[in-house]
Amino acid sequence: MNTPPALIASDLDRTLIYSTAALALTAPDAEAPRLLCVEVYNGKPLSYVTEAAAAILEELARTAAFMPVTTRTREQYRRIQLPCPPPPYAICANGGHLLVDGESDPDWQTAVAARLADECASLAEVRGHMLAAADPAWLLKERVAEDLFAYLVVERSLLPEGWVTDLAAWADARGWTVSLQGRKVYAVPKPLTKSAAVREVARRTGARTVLAAGDSLLDADLLLAADRAWRPGHGELADTGWAAANVEVLAARGVVAGEEILRRFLAAAAAEGADPARP
């Protein structure tokens, strides 16, 4: 495999692909962009990109090393049919699984398991505490993802003030992070990061530059680890005013932000490949 000048590591949900609820279209209906469905769940369309974004992504995947980086489980990721050739690498479960040609790399799984065993409390302990502290009045669902991390689906309007902060303090002392994103309260081990998996792929491919994009709190480490990164004008990072020197904040929101991010990726990857000063 030729060494790619740039590795493009992008979050998916609400960064490149959008549910109906997250489209955030502001133009009149007659001027709305044409959409392409990229995910079906239970027989119904679930996620979309604009047709313009689909064309850009296809070109990007043909000319650069494009890699999805998601908190989704492998099963959830495999529902997505991106309008481009299957990426040779993908990262699922917030860095817990590194897919190579669609299959989880066993060496990466072993390395992740060792770090989790050495550096943080067990999933069972954290999950048990979360459930004991939760109130059925606002707890809608609880889930474990790939036996790696846990999350609660909550009725956010009923969530007591300070509950997430108290849980985060308890978890921090045990090597876990807690974040509230939409209606989900995530508890994720600190060693389980998107950035660690991206660094591994960059090492394997020899990519000299990492370009990244994301919108959520779980994307912050990914954006910070990149040489250049972008975040849309929506999401938890935007809501908290999060910024970094290497991260460009876009004004675009919703599905058109995904289109803009892909344009930035394509231009930056082209510049990397064309730079005569680079080896």
Long-range contacts of 157-163, Cβ-Cβ distance < 8 Å, separation of 24 or more: 160/135, 163/133
* Residue 158, pLDDT score: 97
Distance between CA atoms of residues 185 and 151, nearest Å: 5
Contacts of residue 234, Cβ cutoff 8 Å, sequence gap at least 6: 14, 24, 215, 253, 254, 257
* Residue 26, pLDDT score: 87
* Residue 2, pLDDT score: 64
Among residues 42, 49, 53, 41, the alpha carbon closest in space to that of 22 is found at 49
Q: Are 249 and 242 in contact (CB under 8 A)?
A: no
Q: For 87-106, how does the pLDDT look when each residue is reduced to its tens digit (9 = 90+)?
A: 999 999 999 999 999 999 99
* Residue 21, pLDDT score: 92
Q: For 135-169, how does the pLDDT look when each residue is reduced to its tens digit (9 = 90+)?
A: 999 999 999 999 999 999 999 999 999 999 999 99
Sheet containing 18-19: which strands, arranged edge to edge? 18-19, 44-50, 35-41
* Residue 76, pLDDT score: 97
Phi, psi of 99 (to 5 degrees): -90, 130
Tokens of 12: 């998916």
- Residues in the chain where the model's pLDDT stays below 70: 1-3, 274-279
* Residue 275, pLDDT score: 47
Instruction: Give the three-class secondary structure for 242.
Output: coil
* Residue 230, pLDDT score: 98
The string of DSSP letters for 133-199 reads H--TTTEEEEEEETTTEEEEEE-GGGSPTTHHHHHHHHHHTTTEEEEEETTEEEEEETT--HHHHHH
